[in-house]
Chains A and B, each alone.
Chain A
Amino acid sequence: MIDILIDIILLSFLAIIAIAIIRTRSLLAVIMLFSIFSLLSAGLFMVLDASDVAFTEAAVGAGISTVLMLATLALTKSYEEKPSSHRPWIPLLVVSVTAAFLVYGTIDMPPFGDPNAPAHQHVAPRYIEQGAKETGVPNLVTAVLASYRGFDTLGEVTVVFTAGIGVLLLLGGRQRRKKKKEKR
């Protein structure tokens, strides 16, 4: 019962912070709020029994993402968002329609935490019963990540590598371009 209470309180906090992010103009404050958002979601992952995800979210989501965003602010030297000149009605309409469809989709979903939900019937019982025996790792998340679904990690590395090359190509020319400008 206490679990559900903490869950509800943390989710409500997340919603409040997200609204604050939309309403805040100062980009520095937005990024700090996003960092808090990430850290709170890491706490929520812990409550929902996903400790590995919580570690990763706290380190990568709240840590590295924030540093990257702050670095972008420092490079672009823009700290204040300009007030939007557009009317918000069309985005609001699009968002409400999408939300209505998504809520309609959740109505026949199994209730939260139901042990008989279809999601827990397929491969998960095998991982839980055989995983420790077959891989020798008591932490099932590690067992599935590194052993049963090792190819996922290969795909992940490919994406990270591609993104790294993209960032290098986009920003690697900065020094050269600056020098060229100075020569002119």
Chain B
Amino acid sequence: MMEFILGHYNYWIVIFLMMLGFYTVISRGNMVKKIVGLNIFQVSVFLLYISIGNVSGGTTPIIAEGFTRYSNPLPHVLILTAIVVGVATTALGLALVVRIKEAYGTIEEDEIHDQDQSL
């Protein structure tokens, strides 16, 4: 039982972090906070992939004398790509926030909704 919990602790905490990010995105009205929530979600997905790629007793996948067991390099490569893409999408989201502020004068979802209703 203890072994089962230790073996799945990483996955569960990652899911908890994911859900915290998800909750921030759907329950908060402030756009900047929504994007921070999206980023938390993103980082937790990275952690999930890296956790799956880990091999106990292994080392960083750099070939060297005296090591025979390495972690799986493939998830590392995928996540390297994902981090850079993540920053690009964050930048686009933040640019949208700046543009929304210009058009509506606010970045709170409720106020934007009210302005749309009163038109």
B57-78: which have CB < 8 Å to A?
57-64, 69-78
Interface residue tally for chain B (C-beta within 8 Å) = 86
- Among A31, A60, A124, point to the contact of B73 (Cβ < 8 A): A124
Contact of A76 among B9, B29, B107, B110 (CB under 8 A): B107
Are A56 and B36 in contact, CB atoms less than 8 angstroms apart? no
Binding site for B on A (CB under 8 A): 4, 7-8, 11-12, 14-15, 18-19, 21-22, 27, 30-31, 34, 37-38, 41, 44-45, 48-53, 56-57, 60-61, 64-65, 68-69, 71-73, 75-76, 78, 81-82, 84-86, 88, 91-92, 94-96, 98-99, 102-103, 106-107, 109, 111-115, 117, 119-120, 123-124, 127-128, 131-132, 138-141, 143-145, 149, 152-153, 155-156, 159-160, 162-164, 166-167, 170-171, 174, 177
Checking A38, A141, A166 against B77 with a beta-carbon cut-off of 8 angstroms, the contacting residue is A141
CA distance A174 to B7 in the complex (A): 52
Asked if A159 contacts B88 (CB within 8 A), the reply is yes
Does A99 lie within 8 Å of B16, measured CB to CB? yes
Query: Are B83 and A56 in touch, CB under 8 angstroms?
Result: yes
Main secondary structure of the interface of A (DSSP, over half): helix
Specify the chain A residue showing the minimal Cβ separation from B82.
A156
Residues of B within 8 A of A123 (CB): 74
Contact in complex: B7, A163 (CB < 8 Å):
no
Smallest CB separation, A181 vs chain B (Å): 10
Q: A82-B108, A128-B61 are in contact. Are A41 and B94 (CB under 8 A)?
A: no
The answer to whether A82 touches B30 (Cβ under 8 A) is: yes
* Chain A nearest Cβ from B79, distance in angstroms: 5
Kindly identify, within residues 17 to 62 of chain B, every residue whose CB is under 8 Å from any CB belonging to chain A: 17-24, 26-30, 32-33, 35-37, 39-40, 43, 46-47, 50-62
- Of chain A, the residue at the smallest CB distance from B13 is A11
Closest CB of chain A to B108's CB: distance in Å? 5
| B84 located at the interface, meaning its Cβ lies under 8 Å from any Cβ of chain A in the complex | yes
Nearest to B62 among chain A residues (CB) is A139
B73 & A11 in contact (Cβ 8 Å cutoff): no
Q: Which of B30, B39, B85 contacts A27 (CB 8 A)?
A: B30
